[in-house]
Structure 1
Amino acid sequence: MNDLNGNLKLEIQQASRRDFVQETVGDFGRWQFKISLLMSLLKLPMAWFQLGIVFIAPPFDFTCKVPTEQEGKDWKLIAQPNSCYLRNISALNETASKIPCDWGYEYDRSTMKSTIIMEWNLVCQSARLVEVTQITFMFGVLLGSVIFGVAADRYGRKSSLIVAIILQAVCGIISSLVSSFWIFVFVRFFLALGNGGTLISSFVMCMESVSGTYRTIVPILYQTPYVFGNLIMTFLAYYLNDWRKLNLVLSVLSCLFISYIWLLSESPRWLLAVGKKMEALKILKAAARMNNKKSPVEFRKDEENYFIAQVFEKPNFSQLLVTPELRKRTIFLSLSWFLTGVIFFALSQYMSSVGKNIYLSVIASGALAVPGTIMCIFIIRKTGRKKTIIFANILTTVSTAAIAFFPKGEYTADWPRLILSALVFTGISMSLPAFFLFTGELYPTTLRNAGSGGTIMFSKIGSMVAPFLLTLQSVFESLTVIVLAALGLLTIVFIAPLPETMGKELLETVADLQKQKLNKKNIQLTDNESFEDKDGCNSVLR
């Protein structure tokens, strides 16, 4: 108990400090715009590799190869679509009619001329290996977020980010050239480590550069290039029509981000936190000039001691559970992010097969994503964070469930399914940015990074579950969207108990959270005391 009181006292002392970086460079200017733009562009390769499974292993028809010479044999074999057996029409019974596909497979190459499924025959008994590919990748993203998150705190934001970018690009190129499936999975795992590293390091650098009201707008707009990344990949996939060429081109393009070695400076907040005052001042002076800030840079001795002391006050996930209110928020956010990860990545893969034309399906699903993100900025200011998330989840859930009522192939170009898939991703593009913002605002400043990073990490665990939901289509076609719609409703259930944050000051410390909770109880108590019962006695809940 004494330790907790001591921590709260330290947090209050820290919260009373002025924001030295904010006063030096302002809330937002050309310097913050440059960093925000550079960080948001990293969403392009994040989308290319996280959603690349859509085009390197798309769904398509296959048949068993029929042997060319059947003369002199006591069979007459014919192939059936998507069957793992040849059928011997000369057999006397059903059991004898099934002949294994010992002569290989024939694939429908009208969508893609080459995929990992075609190259390594990942069908029938080996079909589960496609799921292994994506699960291994998303586990790498999860692990990369943890490893590079720790590295970013210890060795710096920029250096960790550059290492992640290089790892991602180099492993992407290697994975395009390997001839073994298991080596491909192994190299792609390290690619995922880099992908997860760019995700966490870029977000932290972006948020540490902006202040004031721009911490509402920037986290939303930061997500936008992810949609463009998916669309760029779709057009390249259509033009290249080969998984190796596509993966290689995307990997070479991701090499362009290595230029951040020269374009990007270290986070001044991190430099101040580890006591590298002179390096931080040099960057801040340059940033102030870029922002046309004429106020001199001053640095008080008490601030120097404060920033250096912060290195030894790193919060961890266990601190998110120290009070009942923190436990409630952390548990509900973790569950909600887990389900969000399942829904987003399952739908991203499912949308590739929502219509007969994979390219049209992906483009249609992403067409309204950018307008959805822009709408989020306006809606969130009018209705609040929680209502925006709930409304967007309802839109996603209803649209997902409605797909089940329109079987594939019944309408020209499957237009009802394409329209619904566009509405699905409109909802997702509204809910995700709002959810990122909402999550950060629910935690006090001293726990914000640990709270946001710790709970959002559960979405990566959810992404590892997503491939299994896609296999439900083998039971019956609409089962996947029905289950995803049910999970969408469950997400709303977990979001609903959380408090709205719009119009409220950001909490600085755990003590502020406790004070807010106490004030709320006092207000409720006062309201109850203002009502009298029929006998004139105060009606107070005891």
Structure 2
Amino acid sequence: MAFQDLLDQVGSLGRFQILQTAFFCICILIAYPHMLLENFTAAVPGHRCWVHILDNDTVSANGTEILSQETLLRISIPLDSNLRPEKCRRFIHPQWQFLDLNGTFPNMSEPDTEPCVDGWVYDRSSFSSTIVTEWDLVCESQSLISVAQSLFMVAQLLGGLIFGHISDSYRAPWKLQSVLENVFLCALKEGKGWSVLESAQWLIITNQLDEALKELRRAAHINGKKDTGETLTIEFVKSTMKQELDEGQTNVSLFDLLRPPKLRVRIFYLSFVRFAATIPFLGLMLNLQHFGSNIFLFQIIFGAVTFIVRCAVLLTMNHVGRRISQMVSSFLVGIPILVNIFLSQEMQTLRVALATLGIGATTAIFTTHTVHHNELVPTVLRSIAIGLNAMFSRLGATLAPLLMILTVYSPDLPWIIYGVSSILAGLVVLLLPETRNQPLPNTIQDVENNRRDSRKTKQEDISMKVTQF
């Protein structure tokens, strides 16, 4: 692989790669929590209808202060199927007959109820204020929470499109984007190095040799290879990557990404996998209250599992391959979600354990998918393909919260969709070729003509000839 020769010259793993990786980790730590913020700002506290006899301070003049709050609640609010106070309805008139200790009235009809026409009373023990309590986003208006979450994801989608275009127009912002999106790529090539130099490779392929040379020299200097950095010249770069330069001179666009038949099929499969995998991830992460009331603890558990899995999966995918890693991870997301549907709310420990397994597996999917995607797309089109893949991820993120609106038809329907979509992603990924221990494709012809293997064979032949001497 020609670019690998340049990478070896400047240092495949040194201070340059470590510092940039640490820098972008800090950026992600700052930006990522915003996506999960609505777990807390849009948390739905316990609530019930406001009732005059219970919540009006002036009602004590009627002598009801001699009755306890529990008693007044019993005669004012009906019970649901779990024998808990209804959240969205109240009795039209106080049911004083419920004060009878026997509590049995066989000849009585069901008391009339009505919606919470006077508002709600909220349990503020965990959250003093949320957008739910401020705007009464409960009962008939609860679907607006999902709409608000979806609008946030739409803003991310539009921001990605707008700033992605800006980053392609101005070199400095683009370099940061390229480094971030490919941070793990070359680290998985049998220890050959980190892909923080992917920007230099892209610059070479697009014939921006001066900029590429600056990036390579900067990396060599930071890695302590000052002499090597001085010997890097444009002539050396041209001779090392002559074939890639000859094949990458033409300007490329989104149409070039979708025109070649084999590449188009790859992009379709990769986009579907990213779209289908994002839906259950956001479904789990934005609905922590579905698994219990202590969402602070759940967030800590999920965060710890996510961190551990991201580190571990980099090792496992090199042993079992990209496809198998994604397929198994997808099944480990979908199956626990579907099993959780049949578990009662009282089995909270098991429900949280299954959700944690699902969160960890979705993290494994995204990490492996990022590597697999970059190894399937030629370098000359990789930045465009990454943008398209990210767009489908944002579409999945936009759809995931909106699916919770389907709870008006069935409480389990959104979770069924979350589970099934993940399993489908695992099946579709099997249609993609395996890339473990394979060189990166640099041009469209490498994909269309299956030149990955031929280039590897050619490289082995050259090594054999050198060994003979």
Whether the TM-score (by the shorter chain) exceeds 0.5 is yes
Give the TM-score normalised by structure 2: 0.76
8 A Cα contact 1:394 1:489, kept in partner? yes
Query: Which one-letter code corresponds to 1:51 in the other structure?
Result: L
Distance 1:220 1:45, change over 3 A: farther
1:358 corresponds to 2:295: yes
Q: CA deviation at 1:29?
A: 1.3
Q: Deviations over 1:430-469 (max 9, x none)?
A: 1110011111111111122212221232010011111122
Match of 1:290 among 206, 222, 225: 222
CA–CA separation in structure 1 for the residues paired with 2:176 and 2:289: 28
One-letter identity of the residue aligned with 2:138: V
Structure having the higher Rg: 2
Q: Is the 8 A contact 1:351 1:421 kept in 2?
A: no
Match of 2:349 in 1: 415
Q: C-alpha separation between the residues in 2 aligned to 1:373 and 1:357?
A: 25
Kindly provide the amino acid, as one letter, of the partner of residue 388 in structure 2: G
**Does structure 2 retain, via aligned residues, the 8 Å contact 1:28–1:211?**
no
Q: Which 10-residue stretch deviates more, 482-491 or 76-85?
A: 76-85
SS state at 2:13 partner:
coil
- Within 5 A, what are the aligned runs for 1:314-353? 314-353=251-290
- Alpha carbons 1:385, 1:500 under 8 Å: kept: yes
Contact 2:306 2:363 (C-alpha < 8 Å) held by counterparts: yes
Go from structure 1 to structure 2 and tell me whether the alpha carbon gap of 1:321 and 1:280 turns closer, same or farther (over 3 Å shift).
closer
Change (3 A) 1:44 1:210: closer
Structure 1 counterpart of 2:432, one-letter code = L
Q: Is the 8 A contact 1:350 1:470 kept in 2?
A: no
Say whether 1:480 aligns with 2:417: no
Match in the other structure for 1:54:
39
Give the secondary structure class of the aligned counterpart of 1:98: strand
Equivalent position to 2:91, from 87, 90, 98: 87
Partner residue, 1:64? 49
CA shift in 2, pair 1:450/1:141, >3 Å: same
Assess, with a 3 A threshold, how the Cα gap between structure 1 residues 155 and 492 changes in structure 2: closer, same or farther: same
Q: Output the CA distance in 2 between the equivalents of 1:398 and 1:299.
A: 55
Task: Check whether the contact 1:220–1:437 (CA below 8 A) recurs between aligned residues.
Answer: no
- Change in Cα spacing, 1:446 to 1:345, as seen in structure 2 (3 Å) is same
Residues 349-428 of structure 1 correspond to what in structure 2 (within 5 A)?
Answer: 349-409=286-346, 411=347, 414-428=348-362
Number of the residue aligned with 1:78: 76
Measure the CA separation in 2 of the matches of 1:281 and 1:445: 17
Bigger RCO (CA 8 Å, 6+ sep): 2
**Among 179, 184, 205, the residue aligned to 1:205:** 179
Q: CA deviation at 1:408?
A: 1.0
User: Match for 2:436 among 497, 502, 507?
Assistant: 502
1:107 alignment counterpart: 122
Pair 1:288–1:144, CA change in 2 (3 A): same
- Which deviations, in whole Å up to 9, do the C-alpha atoms of 1:343-393 show, x marking residues without a partner? 111111123421232222223333322222222122111110000000111
For the pair 1:147 / 2:153, whether they are aligned, the reply is no
Instruction: Kindly indicate whether the alpha-carbon contact (under 8 Å) linking 2:167 and 2:177 is maintained by their aligned counterparts in 1.
Output: no
Let me know the Cα RMSD of the aligned residues. Answer: 4.0
Q: Indicate the percent of aligned positions where both proteins have the same amino acid.
A: 25
Shift of the 400–517 alpha-carbon distance from structure 1 to 2, 3 Å rule, reads: farther
How far does residue 289 in structure 1 lie from its aligned partner after superposition?
2.5
> Are positions 1:456 and 2:390 aligned together?
yes
Q: TM-score, normalised by structure 1?
A: 0.66
Does residue 1:126 correspond to 2:111, yes or no? no
Q: Among 434, 443, 448, which residue is 2:377 paired with?
A: 443
Which 5+ residue runs of structure 1 have no aligned equivalent?
1-15, 161-200, 223-266, 521-542
- 2-structure distance, mates of 1:219, 1:28: 5
Instruction: Describe the shift of the 1:398–1:405 C-alpha distance in structure 2 as closer, same or farther (beyond 3 A).
Output: same
| Unaligned segments of structure 2, at least 5 residues | 63-72, 79-84, 96-107, 455-469
Distance 1:423 1:110, change over 3 A: same
Which of 509-518 and 351-360 deviates more?
Answer: 509-518
Q: Which has the higher mean CA deviation after the structures are superposed, 42-51 or 88-97?
A: 88-97
Instruction: Return 486-495 or 379-388, whichever deviates more.
Output: 486-495
Summarize the Cα distance change of 1:436–1:211 in structure 2 as closer, same or farther, 3 Å threshold. Answer: closer
DSSP-derived class of the 2:32 partner: helix
Give the letter for the 1:78 counterpart: S
Deviation at 1:288, TM superposition (A): 2.2
Cα 1:37–1:377 change in 2 (3 A) is same
**Paired residue type of 2:299:** V
What is the alpha-carbon distance in structure 1 between the residues aligned to residue 194 and residue 128 of structure 2? 37
Answer whether contact 1:62 1:108 (CA < 8 A) is retained.
Answer: yes
- Closer, same or farther in 2 for the Cα pair 1:460/1:218, shift >3 Å? farther
